Amino acid sequence: MRSSSVNPDSHDVAIALNGITKRFPGVVANDRISLTFRRGEVHALLGENGAGKSTLIAIMSGMQRPDSGQIQVAGRSVRITSPSAALRLGIGTVYQHVLLVPSLTVLENLMLGAPWWRPCNRTATLKRFEELSALLSTNVAPDSLVGRLSLGQQQQVEIMRALWHGELVLILDEPTSMLTPQGVAELGVVVRRLRDHGVAVVFITHKLKEAYDLADRVSVLRLGRVVGELGPEDLRAKSELEAIDAVVAMMFGREEEPEDLKTTLLGGARERDGLSVAERSGEPALSMRGCHSHGDPGECPLAGVDLDVWPGEILGIAGVDGNGQKHFAEALAGQRRLSAGSILLGGEAVERTDVIQRRARGVRYITDERLGEGTAARHSVATNLILKEIGKSAFWRHGLTQWRQINEHGRKMIAEHDIRAPSERTTIEKLSGGNIQKVLLAREWAPDASLVIFNKPTYGLDLQTTKRARDWIKSGAGAPGAVIIVISNELDELIEVCHRIAVIDRGRIAGVVDAGDGATSEIGRLMTGAEAA
Amino acid sequence: MTDSSQPRWAPEALHRVLRVLLPILLALGAGAVLLVILGKDPLAYYGYVLKRGLYSPSGFEASITRMAPLLLIAAGLIVAFRAGLWNLGVDGQFLLAAVFVSALTPALLPFMPAIAAIVLAFLVAVAVGAAWSLIPAFLKARHGINEIISTLMMSFLGVSFANVLIKIPFNDPSTTVPQTATLPVDDRLARLGDSTVHWGVVLAVIMVVAVHYLMERTSLGLKLQIVGTNPRTAIHCGLDVKRLTFVAFAISAGLAGLAGAVDVLGVHGTIRADWNPAYGIVVIPLVFLARFNGFAVIAFVFFFAVLMIGGESAARRLGVPSFFVLVLVALLMLFFAVIEFLDHARRNRAGS
C-alpha cells in the first residue's frame, strides 16, 4: 500500500470518510460522501430532512453498514460493525432523545455498558466519572437519580457515556432541540471545552444560527451528497449574515436549478403577481389575530400569530421544522383550540368552531401525516375517501351505511384522480405514498372551498407526483377565490407555487416576503430568527 | 389474471378452515396428553363432555342456556374492542348488575306485572353496568389513562362491592347463608316451549347480530371503528373521540350488565355471597379468536358452552378438576396463536 497523500496534519484527523454510499429501497441516502472530521474542531453538519444526516451518523456510530466506501479512524482503516465497536474506537454518539434509565442513578447508568460477566466496579466507575466531570466542568451528583435531573444535565450524562471509552469523537444529533435557551448556552460551554481538549465534535443541526455560533467548520448535505463546506477561514472571513446566506444557498441548491425551470417559475409568478395585487386591495379573506395555542412538551405552540391572506392568494409558510407549523395548520383546520386570539374567515369568526363546522364553511386540510392521521389503515380506499363525510346523507340513509354508493364513489374518485389502486376495496395501507396522497387530495378536493391548507404536500413523493401536486396548487387547487396555505420546508417549492411566503419562527410569523428571485436570502434570514433578535 | 388467481383460491379456503380446525384438534390432543399424565382416560373424558354437553337433551339445553350470558358479554366486547377500547372489567360490570337485579326484581313484583318488572330490571342492569364503566371511560377520554388497568381495577372493586351489597343491604334475612331474596321460579324468564332454555338466549343472539350490524352498517359503527383504528385520524376527521369513548364504554358495559340480569332472572333467581362465575375472563379470548366477528362469536361461544357444561359433569364423574376446561381454553388460545403466527409468516412469504 502506498502511504500517499499524508497530510502534514494527518495526526489531527479523527475520522476520514471516503466515498461512503448507502442505499435504501428507492433512495440513495448517502451518495459518495467524503468528509474529514478533525480533532479539536467543532464540525457542524447541516441539511434539511432527508438530506442524509441521520444515515451518516448511523454509519459512524455502527448502527448501519455502508454499501461502499472507506472509513479511517485515527489513520487506520476500520469497519464499524456495531455500536459497541464504535464506542471502543472512541466514537460516542448522543441522540436527540435521552436514552438513559430514569429510575437508576447517574453512576448506575454509566455502568450499564459494561459486559454482563464483569462485576460492577463502583470505585473505577467513580474515578472515570470524576475525570469526565472535570473535563466537561459539570457538577452532576453521581448518586442522584437520572429522572430527577434537568434535560440539560441528562444530556451531560449522555455525553459522559459517549466519551466513556475514549475521547476521540463526539457526535451530537440535534442536541439543542430539547433544551431550554439556558441549557443550550451550557451545552455550548461543554462543547468548546471538549474541542479545546482535542475531541472532534460532530454537531448535527438544522438551525443555522447555532451552527454559526458553535462550529469551526460547516458542511452542508443535500439529497445524500455533500454540497458545500465552509472552513474556519471562510467562517472567520464572513459576517454571520453572509455565512448564513452562503449556507442557505447550499442547503436549498438554488444555484443548481436548471434554467428552464427558473423561467417557467418566473413567468407563473409574474402572472400571479398581477392577480394578487389587485385582489389584495380588498378585504382579506382570512385574518388571524394574536393566535396562541397550548403545546405539550416537545411541541412548539403558536405564540401570537398575526396574518392576513386575500381571496385567491397562495401563501407559503416557510420555517425550520418544529416552529409551530403543525399547530398553525391544526388551528386553521379546527383540530386544535386556540387559547387566545381570533380567526376571521370571510369576515366571520370561526375560532370556536370544530372540524365539521369548518369543513361546512369550505375549509380543507391536507395533513402532512398521511398514515399517522390522514388515513385509517386497514380500511378500504373507498372508506378513506369518505372519512370526513361519515353520517352525511349521500352515503347514509336512515342511519344505515350505503356501502354500494360508497364503493361507487370510490371507483369514480380512483378514475378521476388517477389513483393507482387494484380496487376501491383495497386497504389504504397497501398503496404507495404518492397514491395515498392522491386519496387525500381527492378527499379534500372541493370547487367551493374557501380555505385549503396543504401541510408538506410533496414530502416523500416521487418527482412526478410532486409535480402533479404543485401544478394542482398553482392552479388554485380547483377552487377559484379560495385562500390557499402551503406549509413546506422546501423553499424551492414555496417560491414556485406561492404568491407570498410567510416565515414562521418560534410560533410567530417573523415576516412575509413576496415570492420571487430575491426571496431566498430574505427568508433564510427570517428563518434563523435574525430579524426578531 | 384469473388464470393465476384461480388455482390459488382453493388452497386459500382450505387454509381458512385449517386455521380454525387445527388449533382445536391440537388443543384436544395436548389436553389428552395431560389427562393421561393425570392417570385419567382422555377418551372417557371427551366422551363425557360430548355426551353431557351436547348429546343428552338436558345437557344440550344447559349448554344453550349457558350461552345467554356469554353471548351478551361477547356482544359488548365486540363494540369495545372494535373501538380500540380494552374493556377487561366485564366481570365487575356483570356481577354488580346481577346483584342489583336480583335484589330489585322480587321487590318490584308486588307492584307491577312480572313482565314490567323484568323490563325494568333489564334497564336497571344496563344502567348499573354502564355506570361502573364511567370512571375508566372518563379517565381514558380526559386523561388518556390506559383502560386495561383501570377497567381491571374497577372489576375487582365491583366484585367486592357486589359482595358487600349481598351481605349487608340486600341480604335476605330468612336464609342462613348470605344471599339475596329469591325470585320465584314462575316469575323468572319464560321458557322456550317445554325446554329448560329461557328466552334470554334469543335476546342474546339478537344482541350479537344487532351489534354486528351496528358496527358494519351504521355511521356510529364506522365512527367507532375509525376511533379504534387510529384516534388521531378520528380527530383529524372531526369525530368527537371523547364522546365516542363514553358511548363505546356504555354499550359494552351495559351489555355486560344485561348479561348479569339475564343470568339471574333466567337461571339462578338469587345470588349467594362470593358467587362470581368470571365469564368475562373466558369470553375475552373467544372474542379475539372470532376476530370480533359476531357470527363467529356465536359459534365459538356454543363450542365453549358445551365444553363448560360437559366439563362440569365429566369432572364430577371422572374426578378431573373442573377447571380442566380452563386448561383446554388456554391450550386452545396457545395453539391459535401459534397457527396464526405460522399463517402470518406464510402469507408474508407469499406476498414477497
Model pLDDT for residues B294-314, shown as the tens digit of each residue: 999 999 999 889 988 888 888
Question: pTM for this one?
Answer: 0.72
Which DSSP string do the residues of A326-352 spell out, in sequence order? HHHHHHHHTSS--SEEEEEETTEE-TT
Q: What is the structure's pLDDT at A523?
A: 81
Rounded to a whole number, what is the distance in angstroms from the first to the last CA of chain B?
18
CB atoms inside a 10 Å sphere around CB B55: 12
- Tell me the chain B residues in contact with residue A403 when contact means C-beta distances shorter than 8 Å: 217
Model pLDDT for residues B96-145, shown as the tens digit of each residue: 999 999 999 988 988 998 889 999 999 999 999 999 999 999 999 999 89
Model pLDDT for residues B196-233, shown as the tens digit of each residue: 889 999 999 999 999 999 999 999 999 999 999 999 99
A140-149, A174-183, A232-241, B31-40, range with the lowest pLDDT: A174-183
Model confidence at A496, pLDDT cuts 50, 70, 90, reads confident
Q: Check if the beta carbon of residue A91 is closer than 8 Å to that of residue A169.
A: yes
Q: What is the structure's pLDDT at B29?
A: 94
Q: Is B4's pLDDT higher than 50?
A: no
- Which is higher by pLDDT, A532 or A321? A321
- A415 exposure class (CB count in 10 Å sphere: 0-12, 13-18, 19+): exposed
Q: What is the structure's pLDDT at B258?
A: 97
- The stretch A366-373 carries a mean pLDDT of 88
Q: What is the structure's pLDDT at B224?
A: 96
Question: Number of CB pairs < 8 Å for A and B?
Answer: 63
- The stretch A162-172 carries a mean pLDDT of 89
Tell how far CA A88 is from the center of its chain: 31
List the beta bridge partners of residue A323: none
Contact B238 A400 (CB under 8 A): no
- The stretch A445-455 carries a mean pLDDT of 89
Pairing of strands A396-397, A400-401: antiparallel
Closest by CA position to B184, among listed B259, B110, B256: B110
Q: Check if the beta carbon of residue B297 is closer than 8 Å to that of residue B71.
A: yes
Contact A401 B233 (CB under 8 A): no
Q: What is the structure's pLDDT at A2?
A: 40
Give chain B's length: 352
Alpha carbons A333 and A354: distance in angstroms, whole number: 8
Model confidence at B336, pLDDT cuts 50, 70, 90, reads confident
Alpha carbons A328 and A292: distance in angstroms, whole number: 9
Instruction: At A179, list the grid cell.
Output: 433544551
Q: What is the structure's pLDDT at A9?
A: 53
**Closest residue of B to A356, CA-based?**
B238
ipTM above 0.85, yes or no: no
Sheet holding A42-46, edge to edge: A91-94, A169-173, A200-205, A42-46, A217-222, A225-230
Contact A378 B229 (CB under 8 A): yes
A405-414, A523-532, B40-49, B179-188, range with the lowest pLDDT: A523-532
Model confidence at A192, pLDDT cuts 50, 70, 90, reads very high
CB nearest A400 (choices: B217, B230, B236): B217
**Closest residue of A to B238, CA-based?**
A355
Alpha carbons A442 and B269: distance in angstroms, whole number: 59
Q: Is A449's pLDDT higher than 60?
A: yes
Q: Which of residues 201-220 of B touch A (CB under 8 A)?
A: 216-220
- Tell me the chain B residues in contact with residue A423 when contact means C-beta distances shorter than 8 Å: none
Mean pLDDT of chain A: 82
Contact A379 B226 (CB under 8 A): yes
Contact B232 A369 (CB under 8 A): yes
Alpha carbons A333 and A351: distance in angstroms, whole number: 10
Q: What is the structure's pLDDT at A490?
A: 73
Mean pLDDT of chain B: 89
Write out the residues of chain A at the interface with chain B, using a CB-CB cutoff of 8 A: 334-335, 354-356, 359, 365, 367, 369, 372-379, 383, 387-388, 390-391, 396, 399-401, 403
CB nearest B229 (choices: A356, A376, A400): A376
In 3-state terms, what secondary structure has residue B201? helix
Contact A388 B237 (CB under 8 A): yes
Q: What is the structure's pLDDT at A10?
A: 53
- Which is higher by pLDDT, B216 or B2? B216
In 3-state terms, what secondary structure has residue A454? strand
Q: Check if the beta carbon of residue B159 is closer than 8 Å to that of residue B91.
A: yes
Q: What is the structure's pLDDT at A84?
A: 86
Contact A383 B222 (CB under 8 A): yes
- The stretch A462-479 carries a mean pLDDT of 75
Model confidence at A273, pLDDT cuts 50, 70, 90, reads very low
Q: Is A354's pLDDT higher than 50?
A: yes
Q: Which of residues 219-258 of B touch A (CB under 8 A)?
A: 219-223, 225-226, 229-230, 232-233, 235-239
Alpha carbons A531 and A525: distance in angstroms, whole number: 7
**Closest residue of A to B216, CA-based?**
A401
Q: What is the structure's pLDDT at A149?
A: 81
Which DSSP string do the residues of A144-177 spell out, in sequence order? SBGGGS-HHHHHHHHHHHHHTT-SSEEEEESTTT
CB nearest B230 (choices: A359, A373, A399): A373
Closest by CA position to A221, among listed A461, A48, A66, A18: A48
Q: What is the structure's pLDDT at B133?
A: 96
Alpha carbons A38 and A317: distance in angstroms, whole number: 38
Q: What is the structure's pLDDT at A421?
A: 84
CB nearest A399 (choices: B218, B225, B238): B218
Q: Is A277's pLDDT higher than 80?
A: no
CB nearest A373 (choices: B217, B220, B233): B233
Highest mean pLDDT among A28-42, A101-115, A144-158, B64-78: B64-78
CB nearest B238 (choices: A354, A374, A400): A354
- The stretch A500-520 carries a mean pLDDT of 85
Model pLDDT for residues A249-268, shown as the tens digit of each residue: 777 665 444 443 333 333 34
